[in-house]
Amino acid sequence: MSEKWDFLSQTKPFLQEAWEKSGFASPTAVQVKAAPQVLEGKDIIVESPTGTGKTLAYLMPLLNKIDPEHGGVQALILASSHELVMQINLEVQKWAEGSGIRGASFIGGANVKRQLEKLKKRPQVVVGTPGRVSELIKQKKLKMHEVKTIVLDEGDQLLVPEHTNTVENIIKTTLADRQIVLFSATMPAHTERAARVFMNNPEVIKVTKEDMPKSKVDHIYFVCDSRDKVETLEKIGRLENVKALTFVKDIGNLAVVAEKLQFKRIPLSVLHSDSKKEERANAIKSFRAGKVPMLVATDVAARGLDIEGLSHVVHFDLAEDLTQYTHRSGRTGRAGAAGTVISIVTEREERTLKQYARELGFTVSKKVFFKGQIADERKTPMAGSQRKGNNDRKTPMTGSQPKRNNDRKTPVSASQSKRNKK
């Protein structure tokens, strides 16, 4: 790195070494704006698009403040999904290397005894889902009186009716001088209002598209009947070097889609909230390693998921709103990398997709498959005949069929003729 980032120069040597190893050329906008505030101990509410480096924006300053000589929980990171918790915990291990700082993750559905064993090692950084963290606090296994910083990652998913009370109760178990930071890709007004209730005069930081490197993400779509969507998805799964995260609306639909693709011999992993912990971990591991070209997931399970080298995001079921489209699509093209977002839509859904494009400010192009590859509809050899209609096709089959029908001398046609005369 040719120039030291101002914030980085204030951090401990282990973080500077980790930054050098990471190969990052320069910090992102959200890191420049938010990290110094976290380091100073301020409460902040941060809205920044997906793929902009939000995790590192809070993790580096958080780790910098940890005292590795003192056992006990000093920082708590809450996230809404199992996958996001595990992902953040991996980042903690990576960036804390050589520091003596211990991290631990706690999620629902995992073996409680094993999780209690983790606490016996006195981790300084805990990453968890609200339900399991709350449970451990109530059992007096997780002590919160020394927590100095609480991070709400994907805050708009944490501060929803089913989680808000749990999050608030967790915060109340800490001392009044603790710091709270909230990060999210989207910040609805109700999320900000809910956060302010337990924050101390928070500063709001917003990172826009103008603050980011120019996106290299293409938004394209295919039009077909609902019953033909799996066939289109199969073709996507057969593309060369594809690494596609496919979103479906619910577990029932996911099961049907996965079964049909497996019947067509498309290697894939599935990810949903009802999967067992081991199944979910193996699904992500196989996909990350490139052993399968496709991960089919529901929105809840894949929220916040960061897969390196993700080439495509596929909306098998069209996003229900702009926020969902943003979160899904942001899984690819992270930090200015290239990627493709594909929507498989019906004619009715095509109108909705175009409306999303207008409101979010991106261009979306209609495509077709030609000889197994994605092509511009207007440039395929069949495009002209498709626009004119089937009557203009000059294939041997369509050209000769009418003549064969007129010349048939079968017993069936003879009997039909007799009946017609009667």
pLDDT for res 404: 40
Residues of the chain with CATH 3.40.50.300: 8-210, 216-379
Bigger pLDDT: 365 vs 272: 365
Across the chain, mean pLDDT equals: 85
d(CA 303, CA 185): 11
* Tens digit of each residue's pLDDT (9 = 90 or more) over 221-249: 999 999 999 999 999 999 999 999 999 99
Describe the crossing of helices 322-329 and 347-360 by its angle, rounded to 10 degrees.
80
- Are 351 and 228 a contacting pair, CB within 8 Å? no
Sheet holding 312-315, edge to edge: 268-271, 294-298, 244-248, 312-315, 338-345, 216-223, 364-370, 373-376
Which amino acid is residue 30, in one-letter code? Answer: V
- Are 233 and 261 a contacting pair, CB within 8 Å? yes
Which tokens sit at 399?
């050209």
Q: Mean per-residue pLDDT for 135-142? A: 94
pLDDT for res 316: 97
Q: C-alpha distances in angstroms, 224 versus 219, 346, 367?
A: 17, 5, 11
Bigger pLDDT: 162 vs 404: 162
8-210 is classed CATH 3.40.50.300: yes
Return the residue matching tokens 């070097």: 241
**Which of 60-64, 97-101, 379-383 has the lowest average pLDDT?**
379-383
**Which of 76-90, 314-328, 388-402 has the lowest average pLDDT?**
388-402
* Tens digit of each residue's pLDDT (9 = 90 or more) over 190-204: 999 999 999 999 999
Q: Give the bridge partners for 77, in sequence order.
A: 127, 151
**Which of 215-219, 234-238, 309-313, 417-421 has the lowest average pLDDT?**
417-421
As its CATH architecture, domain 216-379 has: 3-Layer(aba) Sandwich (3.40)
Q: C-alpha distances in angstroms, 93 versus 55, 90, 202, 265, 338?
A: 13, 5, 29, 37, 27
Which tokens sit at 286?
């196989």
d(CA 331, CA 87): 14
**Which of 152-166, 246-260, 370-384 has the lowest average pLDDT?**
370-384
* Tens digit of each residue's pLDDT (9 = 90 or more) over 384-403: 444 444 444 344 444 444 44
SS3 at position 391: helix
Bigger pLDDT: 13 vs 333: 13
What's the whole-model pTM score? 0.68
